Structure 1
């Protein structure tokens, strides 16, 4: 064996230390492995509040008002939520919206304040014109003459403000010292406050959690999202809560590189090998991750692909409740005109509404069984699954009513009785004894021969 050089040993030791350190800090591996889950990193229960002093830096976003259509908006026609409402409208379900806050609206009568991790509020202030639109897609009530309504109009909304693009930390530290954790907002909000918000939502009695936010990082260095993974596991595995999250949108400062699609020449290749961008909490196994499609069912060009994408729903040119006034909005106003309601952020709440409908109609199902039902009743792509739309576009009526046989679980093998091991046989020393005896005899013969040869040599001398 070739001996290791000293510097090779040092590198190996440092690598092992780095791996152990990453595991201890909750830094998930970037390639070819799934994220790490450490239950010990679950945030303790606490009252919602910012981790640091914050202040508003920019003006609140201005929603773009739109007329209330008499027909169902185009983006929602394919899902046909109205076909499910004679069976269930989501009554009894509390859907937590972890977002930019939800402003009170006449068509959200069941709105509940859940807390504020951005400022000193209660979660019922949406300065970013985002969370209110998300909540409306989930639970906006039907109204006479209006074709718009949320997918589960009888569900209640628990609003937890976790991020905002218009608030920032009151801090004079250099930027490089502020980037210790990935952020899911340009202003304030990171994976730690998101983990705390999930814990708060679960402890507040939510049955479904919608997270229309994502933190993206390029692969290569891991993701310090240990508390977030622990919070997701706590919600789903320990407290039986369905967690729905957006897959993420291409563009911006973080989600820059698209992940590879399925290779038709290698259909059986592991999709966890070789992706370029990690999206959290989307990449956790227990999360129902939602990609976006257009109204015709084709994948949206902005939707971030990944091996963690489970299903898809419409996410382009949406209409929902306005955070300003009592009407509807279809986007926000910017310097270049109207920024439309487009993104996986608006596909996720439609799936959260489906989860609320299923939970209301089938309360005996666990959170994981609800997720399995939604996936198995979706309109699957030709290949059965792909990293853009997962198992396909959700079907609310099928998810609620179809006969779905639970996925079989591998039964543990019966144990087989085995005899006790036989005692080891007594060691056979005969070969050794024969060898020793032979050696002794040879030595004796040699000694006798030497002794007999001495007188003969003396006689032969002159």
Structure 2
């Protein structure tokens, strides 16, 4: 975090401690004050035509050749756009900003383009034999949906004074993650969680767990820094906007501070509230500012967080085991985002992403629809789906996000650290704030993932791979209190259950009969975002209860070609099985009428990506 001058630092901390310790009396003397603000549910395009992400077939081609390719395409696209011809405007000129960690070049145009001319330019570039791919460098937004401040009197508890009343999302209730039981096993020590967001501000209930991060924003209008250069530290200068022509007008969110607090706010320190993995460290990375953050900056941040090389940026001295991204935009997974995620996963980093707040199919949002991420929907204190939460087969599980006003204050919001300024944090003071959104659900999953990794390593085991960690969290999720109206994953995040699943002692076939190691399927709950390569096999299991009239198994969606083999009571093979479905593509179906009550094992083979599997017994 960027440090400010010493006098301000001392003043800020003195004020914060005084406010925290005196809060009960101060709050009791004032009436409840509510302030809410709706955030955009999906990203809009960047200033049209401002930046393009271009991958050339010859990555080593001279800069002049690359720019000539773009400029020629711009000239051709202009001639096809009648509006440009009428106004007499010239074709835009291109300049190379930098090379990205994923190997693409970031190109900036010297003027904005209208939608038609921009689309024509992209089409012309895609058709050029020198170009392998091109994407518009869009602005993504954080996925917090509402913000609320309150002066209501808290109920004091022995340690963190606001925990009992405000941190419902950490407690043992219908929608909470049951963190206290997990803390008996792990508090996240030794694990680094990167939070790619708006950066953080100083806060006495957080500073001790914050590492020195990096600011990846490469546009001074977005960052509010003096230049476009990226800089060490991740200080949040505020993301307020008062220019409606630029993007939606609104106050600063201090979204990254709130998200980081969920992961690792200091706990049992007699101040404020609690965090999940409160002995882990947060690596704050600033990629969102005024009006959002560019896809290219976020992609570089992902690679850097995992320990990968980013041109022009020093190597990260604290590679993260887990990355949280409470951000997103409309459209299916961006190619640059998927490439960056693949690099992070290959380095052993688990990527957790908020599903989005549009009450829509998650497949139409990025990066929540990308492969190899843990995509998280939002639940209410009741355990039901938050009305704004995206849904679909690509959702892995649900975490506490808050239901907003429908569940009242404070139970409709997730509460963590923030700053009370409507603009710059230097104009405000540390405080605590309630927000609702899938932004709030995602860091709960990241925090529990940190608990799991810490416990496994402390017990002498090897850190879980991203795929193993995802399976643990998905399989250990507890059942929803009632079937959700839309598919939102395997169940509700459950911290102690995840730890128990991770710490299970493997069965020893020398002393007992061992069941096959399989991923458990829950009745009528789709498991999405599956992938496999030629030669790999994935085994699932499904318990068929007594009295079942029809057992139905389906795989669907994505790309590639999968085959499915099923046997009752034992693991099948491609040669030995009770049932099979081996049609071309991923759409496989097996139906068993009046099946016996037993465990069915399902073997999936082939090369596929983005596929969903679902079992049903009725």
TM range (shorter): 0.5 to 0.7
Residue 469 of structure 2 aligns to a residue in which SS? helix
Match of 1:29 in 2: none
Question: Does 1:216 find its partner at 2:318?
Answer: no
- Number of equivalenced pairs: 311
Alignment pair present for 1:400 and 2:503 = no
Worse-superposed segment, 401-410 or 71-80 = 401-410
What is the CA deviation profile of residues 381-411 of structure 1, one whole-angstrom value per residue up to 9, with x for unaligned ones? 4999985420110110010123387537739
Question: Residue 230 of structure 1 aligns with which residue?
Answer: 339
Q: Which of 284, 288, 297 does residue 163 from structure 1 map onto?
A: 288
Pick the aligned partner of 2:149 from 64, 70, 80. 64
Structure 2 counterpart of 1:191: 295
| Residue of structure 1 in register with 2:433 after alignment | 330
> Following TM superposition, where does structure 1 have runs of at least 4 consecutive aligned residues deviating by more than 6 angstroms?
21-24, 49-53, 382-386, 411-415
Match of 1:94 in 2: 192
Larger Rg: 1
Q: Distance between the aligned counterparts of 1:392 and 1:319, measured in 2?
A: 22
Q: Where does 1:311-460 land on structure 2 (aligned, <5 Å)? A: 311-316=397-402, 317-323=413-419, 327-331=430-434, 341-363=435-457, 364=462, 365-381=464-480, 388-402=487-501, 403=504, 406-407=517-518, 410=537
Cα gap change, 1:298 to 1:111, in 2 (>3 Å) = same
Length-normalised TM-score, structure 1? 0.60
**Counterparts of 2:286 and 2:356, CA distance in 1:** 19
| Residue equivalent to 1:44 | 101
Q: 1:293-304 residue pairs with structure 2 within 5 A?
A: 293-304=379-390
Deviations 1:172-220 (A, max 9, x none): xxxxxxxxxxxxxxx1412222111101111131111000001113xxx
Q: How does 1:101-140 map to 2 (within 5 A)?
A: 101-108=199-206, 109-118=208-217, 119=223, 120=225, 121=231, 122-125=233-236, 127=238, 128-140=253-265
Deviation at 1:150, TM superposition (A): 0.7
Q: Rate the CA distance shift 1:379–1:51 in 2: closer, same or farther, 3 A.
A: farther
**Structure 1 CA distance for aligned equivalents of residues 56 and 480 of structure 2:** 36
The aligned counterpart of 2:183 is: 85
Indicate conservation of the 8 Å contact 1:104/1:111, yes or no.
no
CA contact (8 A) 2:476 2:494 kept: yes
Q: Secondary structure of 1:71's match?
A: helix
Moved more, 359-368 or 400-409: 400-409
Give 1:328 deviation, angstroms.
Answer: 3.8
CA contact (8 A) 1:214 1:281 kept: yes
Say if 1:52 and 1:152 are closer, same or farther in 2 by CA, change over 3 A. Answer: farther
Q: SS of the counterpart of 1:209?
A: strand
Match of 2:351 in 1: 243
CA distance in 1, matches of 2:296, 2:192: 23
More strand by share: 2
Q: Secondary structure at the match of 1:322?
A: strand
Q: Which residue is equivalent to 2:607?
A: none
The answer as to whether partners of 2:147 and 2:433 remain within 8 angstroms in 1 is no
Write out per-residue CA displacement over residues 17-63 of structure 1, whole angstroms, 9 at most, x where no aligned residue: xxxx9999xxxxxxxxxxxxxxxxx94289xx99899xxxxxxx998
Q: Cα RMSD (Å) of the superposition?
A: 3.6
Q: Provide the C-alpha distance between the structure 1 equivalents of 2:109 and 2:236, rounded to a whole number of angstroms.
A: 19
Shift of 1:86: 2.2
Kindly indicate whether the alpha-carbon contact (under 8 Å) linking 1:101 and 1:123 is maintained by their aligned counterparts in 2.
Answer: yes
Gaps of 5+ in 1: 1-20, 25-41, 54-60, 167-186, 251-256, 260-274, 332-340, 416-462
Paired residue secondary structure (1:348)? helix
Q: What is the alpha-carbon distance in structure 2 between the residues aligned to residue 50 and residue 148 of structure 1?
A: 44
Structure 2 CA distance for partners of 1:248 and 1:69, relative to 1, 3 Å: same
In structure 2, distance between residues paired with 1:232 and 1:90: 23
**Structure 1 residues 103 and 216: CA distance shift in structure 2, 3 A:** same
Q: CA deviation at 1:306?
A: 2.1
- Given that 1:310 and 1:390 are in contact with CA atoms closer than 8 Å, whether structure 2 keeps it comes out as yes
Separation (CA, whole Å) in 2 of partners of 1:146 and 1:213: 29
TM-score normalised to structure 2 length = 0.46
| 2:360 corresponding residue in structure 1 | 258
